[in-house]
Structure 1
Amino acid sequence: MAKLILLTGLVLLLNAQIGSAYVLSCYFTNWGQYRPGLGKYKPDNIDPCLCTHLIYAFAGMTNNEIATIEWNDVTLYQSFNGLKKQNGELKTLLAIGGWNFGTAPFTAMVATPETRQTFINSVIKFLRQYDFDGLDFDWEYPGSRGSTPQDKGLFTVLVKEMLEAFEQEAKQVNRPRLMVTAAVAAGLSNIESGYQIPELGQYLDYFHVMTYDFHGSWEGYTGENSPLFRGPADTGSNIYFNIDYAMNYWKTNGAPAEKLIVGFPTYGHTFILSNPSNTAIGAPTSGAGPAGPYTRQAGFWAYYEICTFLNNGATQVWDAPQDVPYAYKGNEWLGYDNIKSFNIKADWVKKNNFAGAMVWSLDLDDFTGTFCNQGKYPLITTLKNALGLQSASCTPSSNPSSGSGGSPSSGSGGSPSSGSGGSPSSGSGGSPSSGSGGSPSSGSGGSPSSGSGGSPSSGSGGSGFCVNKAGGLYPDPTDHNKFYHCVNGRTFVQNCQSGLVFDTSCSCCNWA
């Protein structure tokens, strides 16, 4: 009997440990440092006790080798990975790619065994040199946006070879194996054309599914950014644009639930209503809502900017079928997430036995606690508590508060991205966007979402510029402040932020 009680106790203990062992992966963006005032975000703003895994976005690639993008990445790496001194359980990963990075460098790199080996060797050296615990692939997307159909299979080969090399290296240096994860699409067509799911399920440690950007101002009608379920207005392919469908598609097609991580956005998408008296989901819109004062990008607000909108008298509506809120005021309409929707989604993650939650991104939550009156990091803290994550060995930093001033550091001659074409401002084209890695729209595949240069003008510009052109960003030959975003042959005309010009060397907006 005593043995039975002891055994039962061990089972309960084991279950308790398993039950609370969720992953909370949080992305840090290396362009948050360029936001003005209270929006400025650097590694010393991060609370090291908040997330189980921190992911640094983004690294790039030069000659098939991993490379820094921002002028001060190496300095930021040091601060970022230094957070592990305060939390002994914290893991850090480096993400490579993102929406603005495009597909061409990945396609070139995976093409031959030699180029893949060059890349893998460079990654191991780079991660160990700068004290990262793993690599997060943000290839958006294999088999789409100019990537060849063969890349679907070659991505699997790359991940398999990467894992094997990581395992071998770990034995040689007698250190824990480096992790290999990927930020992957949530839109059905991008999943089908991009991933051999069962095979990747054997090799990846985690799939960070980008379950957001399902709807936005590029569509011409209102819609939720990250709905949990299908809504009554969803018809046609829109029935696939929700978390429930996307996550279950990955699971039923061969990705283990214990490796699937659900994406949570700390931002919303905004619209201009064509008729301010029609505020329903699916109501016609004429374009993107105005840029926020800190993120400075049309159609996109950080949660702390959303709180200002709500506090200034916007009407808030709970979208019960989709378990997310929306809000409107005058002709402005907003689809977003709040504490209530994060709690509901976190319960859904647990009920469905997924591995945990991924947040895009740290710098878009109310990290100073200034705007929402809900404490610091209200959304991410909600997730941490809902998933039962408490770290016994963690000492929070004394003050993860905001820095001031948003101009690029003059330490490098004032250029925010000398030699890198990184983003000189939050969303002015250089930033890889809201989606985890700038996913254009994990759902619709039509949106160049929040950061790949600002949001597209409503509808597909009438110029026909993109007919028969590969997807991607192209300069406007007559106006250096403008560029074209080509998506499936459709033309979106976009503007760089005032004072910036489109730079073809990085396909981003940069200082002239």
Structure 2
Amino acid sequence: MAFLRFLICSVFVLTFTARAAHMSPSPPVKAAYWPSWFSESFPPSAVNTALFTHIYYAFLMPSNRSFTFDLPETTRAELSQFTTSLRRKNPPVKTLFSIGGGGSDSDLFARIASNAKSRQIFIDSSINTARKFGFDGLDIDWEFPKDTTEMKYFADLITQWRKTIDREAKLTSRPPLLLSAAVYYASEFRTYGEPRSFPAAEISKSLDWINVMCFDYHGSWDTTATGAHAALFDPHTNLSSHYGLRSWISAGVPRSKMVMGIPLYGKSWTLKDPYVHGVGAPAVGVGPGDQGILTYVQVKEFNKKTQATVVYDIRTVSAYSYVNTSWVGYDDIKSTTTKVEFAQANDLRGYFFWALSYDSGDWEISTHASKAWVEDQY
């Protein structure tokens, strides 16, 4: 297995230009998003901070009228508890709050980012909120700018945001807030609207890093075949992390500003034929879980309860399990640690998980991922 990981990392390195000599690399990012809707069952005090460097509060949204963060008292209390709890942990971690999310109003972000005045109102409110509740930074999860015009708005937003953050830090003599963004797995879109690309130059200049969402390549929108929804490689299509990360590097975003996303959940299908069960096998619908989605905890329970057969797929660097016509694809310890080693071998900044509470009770995946990132490599 060690040789396989070495081979995978070597292949990836050879795909790009020669690696630069190591000077003083940026501190690694071992991050995870904390879904606030699980606050009662999974409070921030339950986080094992020894395994992470940054934790994201997910999510906040500005008002669709004022463009400011007009938060109810319950949310304000939760934000205070979040930062206080994680700051008191040993070791402490840095905290950011993420704005948006997959189900948020993309049109609202476009309205905010469309002119300098509304951008400034939003930016000032975000900085004030971060300072008020003790956050170390901010994250924008705009899914996704839908055309070239909105991509320009995104560029304008992060450029103005960075200038305001730097100005605020200078005026207050505080460390500048971190600024990151969750982005599509590839730097360009060739589906979901007109062809368009993220503004790589502005991203490189204005953001501390990007969280590249290297997952959701397959799912309930295509029930004709199973798929490795976070495939590192795909021999048949461009739906792979290898392709996506290569596109970001080719666009000019520094490797030191790229954080690779790893899912703590699986996607399921119902097989057409229980005897044909590989990645890409014919399917007739979604399988177990909530609309074909199971957290890693639920995958483990499914495997144990059904005594499912577990297979590691070398081609895609993923795992899947099946029993009768039920099929689940996910990342296990092997695929996760291989991806982490792959990220570090290629000088990426780090990795992040969606989502924190989906790991097993003993932090199985997170622990192995943290150990796989060798701190003294350089």
TM-score (ref. length: structure 2): 0.87
Relative to 1, partners in 2 of residues 1:138 and 1:31: Cα closer, same or farther, differing over 3 Å? same
Partners of 1:330 and 1:201 lie apart in 2 by 48
Matched letter for residue 31 of structure 2:
S
Larger Rg: 1
Quote the residue 1:29 is aligned against.
35
In proportion to residue count, which structure has more helix?
Answer: 2
Cα distance in 2 for partners of 1:287, 1:128 equals 47
Q: Does 1:330 align with 2:324?
A: yes
Q: Is the 1:28–1:56 contact (alpha carbons within 8 Å) kept by the matching residues of 2?
A: yes
Contact 1:207 1:260 in 2 (8 A): yes
Structure 2 residues not aligned, in runs of 5+: 1-21
Q: Which residue pairs with 1:186 in the alignment?
A: 185
SS in 2 for 1:358: strand
Residue 318 of structure 1: aligned partner: 312
Deviations 1:298-326 (A, max 9, x none): 21111111111222311111111111111
Q: Is 1:272 aligned with 2:265?
A: no
Q: Letter of the aligned partner of 1:345 in structure 2?
A: K
Q: Offset at 1:388?
A: 3.2
Alignment of 1:12-27 (within 5 A): 18=25, 21-27=27-33
Partner of 1:115: 118
8 Å Cα contact 1:59/1:66 also seen in 2: no
Of 352, 355, 360 in structure 2, the residue corresponding to residue 361 of structure 1 is 355
Give the superposition deviation at 1:22: 1.7
Task: Give me the identity figure in percent.
Answer: 29
Distance 1:166-1:16 versus aligned 2 partners, 3 A rule? closer
CA distance in 2, matches of 1:127, 1:355: 23
Determine the structure 1 residue equivalent to 2:82.
Answer: 80
Alignment partner of 1:300 is 2:281: no
- Greater shift in the superposed pair: 193-202 or 206-215: 193-202
**Tell me, what secondary structure is at the counterpart of 2:294?**
strand
1:263-303, Cα deviation, whole Å (9 max, x unpaired): 01111101111222221222222222232xxxxx2211111
Aligned pair count reads 348
Alignment of 1:46-445 (within 5 A): 46-62=47-63, 63-67=65-69, 72-82=74-84, 83-87=86-90, 90-142=93-145, 144=146, 148-187=147-186, 188-189=188-189, 193-220=196-223, 221-231=225-235, 234=236, 239-291=237-289, 297-312=290-305, 313-366=307-360, 368=361, 376-388=362-374
2:46 aligned residue = 45
Q: 1:86, CA displacement in angstroms?
A: 2.4
What letter is aligned with 2:113?
Answer: V
> CA 1:61 to 1:75, structure 2 compared with 1: closer, same or farther past 3 Å?
same
Distance 1:213 1:365, change over 3 A: same
Quick one: higher RCO (CA 8 Å, sep 6+), 1 or 2? 1
**Relative to structure 1, is the Cα distance of residues 90 and 389 closer, same or farther in structure 2, using a 3 angstrom cutoff?**
farther
| Contact residue 180 and residue 210 of structure 2 kept, 8 A | yes
Contact 1:64 1:105 in 2 (8 A): no
Change (3 A) 1:68 1:356: farther
| TM-score (normalizing by structure 1) | 0.65
Amino acid at match of 2:279: I
Alpha-carbon offset, residue 66 of structure 1: 4.1
Aligned to 2:18: none
Question: What is the distance in 2 between the residues matched to 1:321 and 1:113?
Answer: 47
Deviations 1:424-479 (A, max 9, x none): xxxxxxxxxxxxxxxxxxxxxxxxxxxxxxxxxxxxxxxxxxxxxxxxxxxxxxxx
Query: How far did 1:48 drift?
Result: 2.3
- Give SS of 1:65's match: coil
CA distance in 1 between counterparts of 2:132 and 2:346 reads 38
Question: Following the alignment from structure 1 to structure 2, what is the Cα–Cα distance between the partners of residues 160 and 127?
Answer: 18
Residue 67 of structure 1 deviates from its aligned partner by 2.7
Letter in 1 for 2:39: Q
Structure-2 change in CA distance of 1:172 and 1:190 (3 Å): farther
Please tell me the residue identity of whatever aligns with 1:388: V
Unaligned ranges ≥5, structure 1: 1-14, 35-39, 292-296, 369-375, 391-512
Tell me the amino acid that sits aligned with residue 26 of structure 1.
Answer: A
Q: Could you say what secondary structure the match of 1:25 adopts?
A: strand
Distance 1:135 1:194 in 2: 23
Contact 2:267 2:292 in 1 (8 A): yes
Aligned CA distance change for structure 1 residues 66 and 273 (closer, same or farther; 3 Å): farther
- Partners of 2:365 and 2:87 lie apart in 1 by 22
Distance of aligned partners of 1:50 and 1:158 in 2 relative to their CA distance in 1, 3 Å threshold: same
1-side partners of 2:201 and 2:219: how far apart? 31
Residues 224-255 of structure 1 show CA distances to partners (whole Å, capped at 9, x for unaligned) of 02111113xx2xxxx21111111111011110
Select between 182-191 and 331-340 the one with higher mean Cα deviation: 182-191
SS of 1:26 mapped into structure 2: strand
CA distance in 2, matches of 1:321, 1:339: 16
* RMSD of aligned residue pairs (Cα, Å): 2.2
Is this contact kept in 2: 1:272–1:288, CA < 8 A? Answer: yes
**Structure 1 residue 178 displacement after superposition:** 0.6
Please give the alpha-carbon distance, in whole angstroms, between the structure 1 residues aligned to 2:72 and 2:334.
Answer: 36
Aligned equivalent of 2:9: none
Query: Is the Cα contact below 8 Å between 2:68 and 2:121 reproduced in 1?
Result: no
Q: Which amino acid aligns with 1:95?
A: S
